[in-house]
Amino acid sequence: MTTRQPTLAEVAHLAGVSTGTVSRVINNSPNVGAKSRRAVETAVRELGYVPNLAARSLATQRSGAVVLAISSDDSALFANQFFAEIITGVNMMMEESELDLTLIMAASDKGRGRLARVLQARGAAGVMLLAVRENDPLLKIAEGGGVPVVYGGRPLGDPPRWYVDADNRGGARQAVEHLVSTGRTRIATITGPLDQYAGTARYLGFREALALAGLGDQRVAHGDFGEASGAAAMTRLLAEHPDLDAVAVASDAMAAGALGVLHERGIEVPGRVAVVGFSDVVTARYTRPALTTVHQPIVALGREMTRMLLALIRGEQATPLILPTELVIRDST
């Protein structure tokens, strides 16, 4: 009969410190206070904790860096509030770690080559991936690097071992259910890119809610999560379905574009057409009218994917995490 070995998390709990502090003590880092060091050493002795040699080897043989690889080369990325909030959450957790953060824009061959070179040179302890698309070449490069890989938003296809995501499908259902509850019956949809899991999941959620309400789902236009695509999609919907009385939009940026078109046409919101978005970025409060939207905890998504990766680097276990969403009702519905 084998005896289960105590985990690093159990040592941290007994010592009353973070797992990061335990890891620093075990690796003889000087950046630990004497009181915390004594508490960790006492907990290690009491529990009989034996450090994970593979994890220590990973930490010592590779550079002290974590890679955040984003499958985008858009120069406007840093103006995108979603990514700005994700990076805020990532940075919050990295400040508690001794590892450095390396950002790689990896939608092009050049960017993907940079990630491959970093991994081949053993220059990273782990990788976080964002905005990956179906059959994205970035997946093979990251998964073949011999380090833990955590996804911010699960990719299409078979789910990976480790990811953090929001409840895209459930949030989208809630958005349409709200529109139905206000008496809307001719509800249109502006989807995100359907080669990304978030775009597909939100579209499925919209369709499920319409079906449960006994409404058709034929009023559909597709976008790319960006504001310009939302404006273009709204223009198409008005041309093809001039009787629509609501639109469920898969991102706040696209919803802002849709609101702009409705305003230009003199169509009253929410009097004639109600609009609901998805994400609850800061600007959703300042559209005209203020946007009803599905809140997803974006900063928490960045924070939790980083927390998961740091735990894996320390040799701990981790399981996928789905963060809850919540409808925020403002003036556009």
Which DSSP state fits 145?
A: T
What pTM was computed for the model? 0.80
Rounded CA gap, 303 and 217, in Å?
36
Rounded CA gap, 291 and 273, in Å?
13
pLDDT per residue of the chain (333 residues) written in tens, 0 to 9: 445 667 777 888 899 988 777 777 776 665 678 888 889 889 888 887 766 544 554 444 455 689 999 987 665 666 678 888 999 999 999 987 878 899 998 888 898 999 999 888 877 889 999 989 888 999 999 999 889 999 999 999 889 999 999 999 999 999 999 999 999 999 999 999 999 999 999 999 999 999 999 998 899 999 999 999 999 999 999 999 999 999 999 999 999 999 999 999 999 999 999 999 999 999 999 999 999 999 999 999 999 999 999 999 888 889 999 999 999 999 999
Backbone angles phi, psi at 17, to 5 degrees: -135, 175
Domains present along the chain, CATH in parentheses: 8-51 (1.10.260.40), 62-165+298-322 (3.40.50.2300), 168-295 (3.40.50.2300)
| Secondary structure (DSSP) of 241-278 | -TT--EEEESSHHHHHHHHHHHHHTT--TTTT-EEEEE
